[in-house]
Amino acid sequence: MRRKSNGSNPTAAFLPMSRKEMQARGWEELDILLISGDAYVDHPGFGVPLLARMLEKQGYRVGIVAQPRWDNPEDIQKMGRPRLFCGVSAGSLDSMLCHYTAFRKKRHDDPYTPGGRAGARPNRACLVYSNLVKAAFPGLCLVLGGIEASLRRFAHYDFWSDSLRRSLLLDSKADLLVYGMGEYAIGEIAARLQNNQDLEGVRGTLRVSRQFDDKVRLLPSYEEILQDKGKLLTATKEMELAMHAGLPLAQKHGDRYVYCEPPAPLPSETQLDSFYELPFTREAHPSYEQPVPALDMLKWSVTALRGCAGACAFCSLASHQGRYVRSRSPASLQKEILGLTQLKGWKGIVSDVGGATANLWGASCSMEGKGCRRQSCLFPDFCPHLRLQQSAYIEMLRSLRKLPGVRKVGIASGVRFDVALRDPGFCQALVGEFVSGQLKLAPEHTEDKVLRLMRKTDFAVFEEFKHRFEQLCRQYGKEQYIVPYVISAYPGCTMQDMQAMAAWFKKRGWRPQQAQCFIPTPGTIATAMYYAEIDLQGNKIYVAKSDREREDQHAVLYEQRKTTRQTARRRNKRQ
């Protein structure tokens, strides 16, 4: 779990970030250099350190440059030119999303930076870092990856410039772009370069060519989408299908084609376990004088699964991790948690055991690999081929709670309430054993016409779960609450829809604490609907596009919060 560092050399347990740290390992040269927009936190919840540890296990000498200055290439050059390639990631978030709010206002913090300081990574970090690498190491193989690259792999709408942008691969002039979870692709790239082989055909990657292979499905071109906005929705649906069905794609930009190989093979349980059993310190690099806030959120949690069967229209997860769920074994999770109990600061509480949708742990699909063309496993109805293991998930949580040194195990990840209702025993255990006062759920809206555009369950299902939750709380004598997460200004949502949602909160005396104005992030179905102002069937829909319209919709919920606070103050005065 954790390497113990030499007291005189606190960086010895970390991968090198400087020439001095390389020399302490006896290295004169790196094989691979990875650049990240995040601070270096040696934790499996941070993508670049996970890939670096995996490459290290395979025998490569790997160095990390975290949050380099972008006015010159000196930070990139400090460990010298790597022998094989340089990998670039903007970090755990798209850099534009990291910097700007839904109303295009600058954020004041960055949880992936020491001290939470904003501004440690540039706008459009992948492009800036790529230019730095090309200046520092002319001719070196350059590979893009991470969420920013993955979701910008084809022509995409960019909310912050209000424009259609080309594939990031073309604008960066990188050799390859890795999409999705990168363990397979980056290992294959390293092996091929080590053996002097070409990089064509690596699954989970994109490359550029002037030749077209008519066996590959062709998306609407960049130029066609510029002429007809509706074709972005066509392209996004095809991309979503290809990700699920394992198909190759291509898209023309001018006289060149961006070729997308089929997705990387999904890891087996054993492989997924092995990623999280690498020798992470679970600490930020000792060179940082201030803590990295994101580590506080992740340090006492464990990832139990990847992927999500929901494929909500606004969520990028299906385009990045895919819809097929892959879960870790109970034995691997037990091993990781026993390691947590040995760390400084351990208080006996595992804050979360989950992933994108915690109660899909162990789920499998009998149609996997058989050409499924459904848009979602959970919408508009539950797919009969999806096999759940919610009872096994509860038993696994109970086994983790019995481990020496563990007092409590929680679920802080998303829980699908529509899935939970399919197993009364799961609901009972969730409420009775694994909710710590509040349960955060995501109904997203109250109006069914908006929910259908989101690919979300009708609101009556949420109310059914709410009723069941309250019954169980009374049964167990527990004072616990649901905290609903909702979205304003979603494509197709009108002011009347927002007022109806605000009225629902007001009727119950609830304050909407988790409210987010819709942000059109690259690569999602919802963003394509926002850009084209049409639904999935091509029908015209209302879209709140101006900042004023979006702010007005969002303000409806905040006015409700203000009214609720005023009512509470008046009630307190009367008492």
Point out the domain boundary residue: 436, 467, 486: 436
**DSSP 3-state assignment of 94?**
coil
Residue type, position 548, single letter: R
**Which alpha helices (H) appear in 363-403, and where do they start and end?**
390-401
- Domain boundaries, position 29: 19-260
Look at residue 401 in the predicted model and tell me its pLDDT: 96
**DSSP 3-state assignment of 253?**
strand
Residue 397 inside a domain? The answer is yes
Contacts of 488 (CB under 8 A, 6+ apart): 498, 515, 516, 517, 518, 550, 553, 554, 556, 557
The Cα–Cα gap between 575 and 481 comes to: 24
For strands 386-387 and 364-365, give the pairing. antiparallel
Say if residues 281 and 491 touch (Cβ distance below 8 Å).
no
37 and 141, same structural domain? yes
Per run of 10 residues, the mean pLDDT along the chain (length 575 residues) is: 52 93 96 98 96 97 97 95 98 94 93 95 97 97 97 97 97 97 97 97 96 90 98 96 92 97 95 96 95 94 93 89 94 96 94 92 91 89 96 97 95 91 97 90 96 96 96 95 94 97 91 90 96 96 95 86 44 42
- Any idea what the CATH number is for the domain that residue 374 is in? 3.30.750.210
Point out the domain boundary residue: 371, 402, 436: 436
Pair of tokens at residue 29 = 């040269």
The Cα–Cα gap between 114 and 285 comes to: 10
Residue 294 inside a domain? The answer is no
**Cα angle value 148/185/340 (rounded, 5°):** 75
193 and 137, same structural domain? yes
Look at residue 560 in the predicted model and tell me its pLDDT: 55
361 and 212, same structural domain? no
**DSSP 3-state assignment of 330?**
helix
322 and 231, same structural domain? no
Look at residue 8 in the predicted model and tell me its pLDDT: 56
- Residue 20: other Cβ atoms inside 10 A: 12
310 and 182, same structural domain? no
The Cα–Cα gap between 511 and 188 comes to: 50
Check residue 568 and report its DSSP letter.
H
Domain count, the chain: 2
For strands 62-66 and 32-36, give the pairing. parallel
314 and 246, same structural domain? no
228 and 306, same structural domain? no
Residue 3 inside a domain? The answer is no
Angstrom distances, CA of residue 494 to CA of 489, 544, 553, 559: 7, 8, 8, 17
The Cα–Cα gap between 82 and 222 comes to: 34
Residue 4 inside a domain? The answer is no
| Rg of the chain taking only CA atoms, in angstroms | 24
Single out the residue of 398, 445, 453 nearest to residue 426, CA to CA.
398
For the range 8-12, what are the long-range contacts, defined as Cβ-Cβ under 8 Å and sequence gap of 24 or more? 10/286, 11/285, 11/286, 11/287
Look at residue 360 in the predicted model and tell me its pLDDT: 96
**DSSP 3-state assignment of 47?**
helix
Residue 544 inside a domain? The answer is no
Which sign does the torsion angle of CA 293, 294, 295, 297 carry?
Answer: positive
223 and 157, same structural domain? yes
44 and 182, same structural domain? yes
Residue 521 inside a domain? The answer is no
Single out the residue of 295, 263, 276 nearest to residue 54, CA to CA.
276
212 and 335, same structural domain? no
Check residue 113 and report its DSSP letter.
S
Angstrom distances, CA of residue 558 to CA of 391, 499, 503: 39, 11, 12
Point out the domain boundary residue: 402, 436, 470: 436
397 and 323, same structural domain? yes
Residue 188 inside a domain? The answer is yes
Place of tokens 């802080």: 412
First to last CA, the chain: 55
Say if residues 120 and 67 touch (Cβ distance below 8 Å).
yes
Residue 474 inside a domain? The answer is no
- Entry pTM: 0.93
218 and 151, same structural domain? yes
- Any idea what the CATH number is for the domain that residue 46 is in? 3.40.50.280
